[in-house]
Amino acid sequence: MKSRREFTILKIFILLPRNKEDPENAYLSVMKLLIISLLLLAIHCSVSLAQIINDQPLSERITWYSIDATLDPDEKKVYGSMDAYWINNSDDVVPDVQMHLYMNAFRSNKTTFLRRPGSSTLRWQQGEGCIDIKSFSDRQGKDLLGNVQYIRPDDGNVYDSTVIRVMLPDPVSPGDTFRVKISFETRLPLISWRTGYNDDFFFVAQWFPKFGVYESEGMRYAVKGAWNCHQFHKESEFYSNHSLYEVSITLPAEYVAGSCGMLMGETLNGEGTKTISYRAEDIVDFAWTAWPGYAVYKDTWKHVNITLLIPPERSNQAERQFRAVKYALEYFDENAGPYPWPYLTIADPPLKGIGAGGMEYTTLFTTISSYLMPAFILTPEQVTVHEFGHAYFMGIIASNEFEEPWLDEGINSFWEQRIMDHYYGPGYGFINHPLLKIPGKAQSRISYVNSPLRQIVSNAEYSWNYPQKTYAMMSYQKASVIMQTLMGIVGEETINEIFREYYRLWAFRHPSGRDFINVVNDVVSRIHGNTFGTDMNWFFDQTIYGTGICDYQVTGITNSKNPHPGDITVLPDSSGSDVSVHGPMYTSTAHIHRAGSVIMPVDVLIHFSDGSEITEKWDGKDRYRDFTYSGNSKIERVKVDPGLKLRMDVNFVNNSKAIDRNKVPVKRLISKLNTFIQFYLSFILL
């Protein structure tokens, strides 16, 4: 999702025998089961495991969904019939399944989502935005609807019905598959929080019952096996297994549709409707959009067929969108890992559907453009690059966005800004106008540095626990600035190696923040040895898991003229004669202060009046540090962190100091004013 700053998803189960057989019937039973199993396996292989999109499965695929959906554009409803399974790949006997019913977040204004302060701005209407389970049965057709109960694992809010728990008549043993058939009815909301309708525009997301993630012991932070299935919160995103999706959508024939899936076929049904079939492999969610007004543009990048759905009046923006997404595809491919799917759909909603803009669904994302947007404002490109980036962070590397949003939004914002500055200009990846240039990376820093709430909480919070108005600043911007700072310390190529390794180890899995940090530790020590210590935990303990600020400052420069710099007699030289040499004219000191609690290694640049320079490597640990020199030239200016690598430093203005050589008061004043303006701009924009 894009933060507010721009505008603010067998037909088979394999049921192994668990009940003890009567000995005399054992042989017969085993043979029967073997035949059934082989038969089912054959069906399984022919349907679910068949590779259609990629040659090999990319993920474990422990969940699968087949959904027949019908859109009723007048009633603003989607009628769904779903066949799905979940494979218990843990060592636990699991007594229940838990599923998300995200759409119920809008069922009343007392839901956990809508009672969050600030939700009053959403255009919520009573009776809109809900999902009703009409039937729920297991593989044998046993009706389990009576076993469906709402649970509220996060806050106990009895008005919230976004998570269901279904106790199963037969627990799911390790290796077994639970298969379910559900019919449901989803009433879409007036477009709100990236899903819903407006007039004849539809963006259908978070619309079907979806399995939570069963985390076995040792997975992420799980100390024992349990479902990870959080309620839908306003300030939170999602967490899902990589799945197979086979979705067919029936809708009026005049609608133009796009989805997370690859188009498998389209049939006209008569009576003005058509059915579109999609398939998706190894993605974490399935969303779709439909609107009669979309114009369709197509482009390609290497193996990827890109489809852009855009209002016809914005056709002049298509080229900007294609260029941006191809830059992002290229940059991720070179510096992290391949984009594995052969297709990608970009939906650029019309104005009436703008509430759906700026959201990611891996192989489908939404952007926000405007035909009025001047070329020097790169917001449309930025949104596109950002939302595409989630194909990596969230899609391929599927962290738990509920619990560790920084792993997704923060890291993705960091990549977005790198890509913008790389392709559109290092100093102007956000705004590129002759009179105003703002780099992409500046946006995170502006938000973090200028937030009065920057120290009230660390990034070790579940997304909905961030105190008011700090979720976006902490999850997106501070986390991005932390990553920028890490890059400043270890270097850009090391950062790329970290992400190549992260991709190699964790693609199509579910890493935790600690897993990411372990990758950082391994790669940094491989490349840099002990240059930064035995590991980088000191960095993350202070930044992600800390609330301190980083602020190094130059407090002063002292140049003392030696009282007797003249002739000083020293030891005799090799000839035995005493030699008189000139003593140093000056004793000069640069006074540095660590004003924040965060300790980082930092360079200190000392510039002398004769033009010479010394760069001191300081571990940054002491509260105060003096660098003293004796020589015939004075210290003229001092810069702590001259490369401004420590982008967490909350105040770049105090990073420099110079002695004042202007004796004329007016000149001095102008000089100071000029210096102030430059420092102010660097403070705001860098």
In the complex, the residues that contact Zn ion under the rule CB under 5 A are: 1, 409
Which of 203, 205, 236 lies closest to 119 in space, CA to CA?
A: 236
Q: In angstroms, give the least distance from the CB of 357 to Zn ion.
A: 12
Query: CB-wise, 477 or 588, nearer to Zn ion?
Result: 477
CB of 408 to Zn ion, least distance (A): 7
**Sole residue written with tokens 């229940």:** 96
CB 111 within 8 A of CB 105: yes
Chain position whose Cβ is nearest to Zn ion: 1
Question: From the CB of 387, what's the least distance to Zn ion, in Å?
Answer: 7
Q: Note the residue count of the chain.
A: 686
Strands (E), 533-660: 552-561, 567-569, 580-582, 586-594, 602-608, 613-618, 624-631, 635-640, 656-658
Give me the least distance between CB of 247 and Zn ion, in Å please. Answer: 24
Q: Would you say 288 or 406 has its CB closer to Zn ion?
A: 406
The CA dihedral of 16, 22, 25, 30, to the nearest 10 degrees, is 20
The amino acid present at 406, given as its one-letter code, is W
| Nearest residue (CB) to Zn ion, 291 versus 393 | 393
Measured in degrees and rounded to the nearest 5, phi and psi for residue 231 equal -65, 165
CA atoms within 13 A of residue 193's CA, in its CB half-sphere? 24
Look up residue 117 and give its amino acid: P
Rounded CA-CA distance 515/163 in Å is 28
Written as one letter, the residue type at 644 is L
- Shorter beta-carbon distance to Zn ion: residue 1 or 482: 1
Tell me the Ramachandran region of residue 170: left when phi exceeds 0, alpha when psi lies from -120 to 50, beta otherwise.
beta
Closest separation in Å from C-beta 401 to Zn ion = 9
Tokens 């600690």 locate to 514
How would you list the strands of the sheet with 602-608, edge to edge? 613-618, 602-608, 635-640, 656-658
Q: Where are the alpha helices (DSSP H) in 391-542?
A: 405, 411-424, 442-449, 471-472, 479-490, 492-506, 513-528, 537-542
676, burial (CB in 10 Å: exposed 0-12, middle 13-18, buried 19+): exposed
Nearer to Zn ion, 409 or 636 (CB): 409
> How far is residue 508 from each of residues 37, 108, 398, 413, 533, measured CA to CA in Å?
28, 36, 7, 20, 31
Query: In the complex with Zn ion, which residue's Cβ is closer, 1 or 172?
Result: 1
Q: Is the CB of 393 or the CB of 506 nearer to Zn ion?
A: 393
| Least Å from the CB of residue 274 to Zn ion | 33
CB of 192 to Zn ion, least distance (A): 18
* Smallest gap from residue 416 Cβ to Zn ion (A): 8
What is the smallest separation between the CB atom of 394 and Zn ion, expressed in angstroms? Answer: 8
Gyration radius of the chain's alpha carbons: 30
Smallest gap from residue 359 Cβ to Zn ion (A): 8
Residue 420 beta carbon to Zn ion: minimum distance, rounded to whole angstroms: 14
Q: Which CB sits closer to Zn ion, 88 or 399?
A: 399
List the structure tokens of 360: 């990611």
| Rounded least distance, CB 393 to Zn ion, Å | 8
List, in sequence order, every beta strand (DSSP E) within 201-242.
Answer: 201-204, 210-211, 213-215, 226-228
**Residue 47 CB neighbours (<10 A):** 15
Closest contact distance (angstroms) between CB of 1 and Zn ion is 4
Q: Of 1 and 182, which has the nearer Cβ to Zn ion?
A: 1
- Between 282 and 409, CB nearer to Zn ion: 409
Cα 199 to Cα 184: distance, rounded to the nearest angstrom: 23
Cα 391 from Cα 616, distance rounded (Å)? 42
Distance CA 366, CA 208 (A): 19
Residue 160 or 421 with smaller CB distance to Zn ion: 421
Residue 256, phi then psi, degrees to nearest 5? -105, 125
CA atoms of 58 and 244, how far apart (whole Å): 11
Whichever of 306 and 359 has its CB closer to Zn ion, that residue is 359
Report, in Å, the least distance between residue 159 CB and Zn ion.
Answer: 28
